[in-house]
Amino acid sequence: MHIRVINPNTTASMTRKIGAAAERIAAPGTRISATNPASGPVSIESHFDEAISAVGVIDEVRRGERDGIDAYIVACFGDPGLLAARELTRAPVIGIAEAAFHMATLVSTRFSIVTTLGRTGIIAEHLLANYGFAHHCRRVRAAEIPVLDLEDDGEAAMLRLVDECKRARDADNIGAIVLGCGGMADLTAQISDAVGLPVIEGVTASVKLAEALVGLGLGTSKHGDLAFPRPKTFTGRFDYLSQ
């Protein structure tokens, strides 16, 4: 089984970290390859960033189809381009936010999200509502850490995340915490040890869900809105998408 983990931003160090976290959790016989687009934002912290990065996600899935990939993971907590990516393949495509929400509800009845910035917390609230998990989430909390601080100032970022997770534990009446950024893929064990609650992070959760779906022989339905896009002409810089 070959799982392609797509980091939708262009920061290669984060891609390597995400890939390493996925490899550590993968079952024997599962191959992980981590990629990122050549063009796009260095971090994703807004609706604008997500819109631009979605094109990169689509390009990576198109490349993956040529490589015979068995499942894809969109490793940004905003799940940018997720449904468009699903249209392009029969393989499972999993967004890390949706995966983390599912996993959290299997080990607790209520969870809180601890994410990077307040504005991305609002995006997480939109996803909770769209995916049907809003009633499971007690609160979305922001540690007010720019995404790239997870790469450039990891120790300080870790301390702020642990502090915010402890506040969630003590104030939110929850059973679990969801980490709201793909750049936190390597932090679950440390934070769980410090906080004493189950901590769910979407990259690793997505790997196990992808393995399960492939093992069950389940792929993306091609009936309804996730059918392959109708062939058409694209113009300008998107001419390469013409069919």
pLDDT in tens, 203-226: 999 999 999 999 999 999 999 999
The mean pLDDT of 155-163, rounded to a whole number, is 89
Residue 72 neighbours by CB under 8 Å, 6+ apart = 3, 4, 5, 6, 60, 61, 64, 85, 89, 91, 92, 93, 94, 210
The pLDDT score that the predictor gives to residue 150 is 84
Residue ranges covered by each domain of the chain: 2-95+205-229, 97-202
Question: Are both 2-95+205-229 and 97-202 of the same fold?
Answer: yes
Q: Look up the CATH number of domain 2-95+205-229.
A: 3.40.50.12500
Give the end-to-end CA distance of the chain in Å, rounded to a whole number. 29
Segment holding 57, helix H or strand E = helix 47-67
Please give the structure tokens belonging to residue 55: 């094109």
**Residue 153: is its pLDDT beyond 70?**
no
Distances in Å between the Cα of 125 and the Cα atoms of 105, 118, 171, 196 are 16, 11, 19, 25
Residue % of the chain over a pLDDT of 90? 92
Distances in Å between the Cα of 136 and the Cα atoms of 45, 72, 106, 148, 176 are 24, 26, 11, 29, 11
**Residue 154: is its pLDDT beyond 80?**
no
- Each residue's pLDDT tens digit, 95-123: 999 999 999 999 999 999 999 999 999 99
**Residue 174: is its pLDDT beyond 70?**
yes
Residue 229 neighbours by CB under 8 Å, 6+ apart = 87, 88
Of the pLDDT bands very low, low, confident and very high (cuts 50, 70, 90), residue 151 is confident
What's the whole-model pTM score?
0.96
Residue 224 neighbours by CB under 8 Å, 6+ apart = none
The mean pLDDT of 1-15, rounded to a whole number, is 97
- Each residue's pLDDT tens digit, 40-62: 999 999 999 999 999 999 999 99
**Residue 152: is its pLDDT beyond 80?**
no
Q: Which CATH number fits the domain 97-202, given the four candidates 3.20.20.10, 3.40.50.12500, 3.30.1280.10, 3.30.450.60?
A: 3.40.50.12500
Q: What is the CA radius of gyration of the chain?
A: 17
Average pLDDT score over the chain: 96
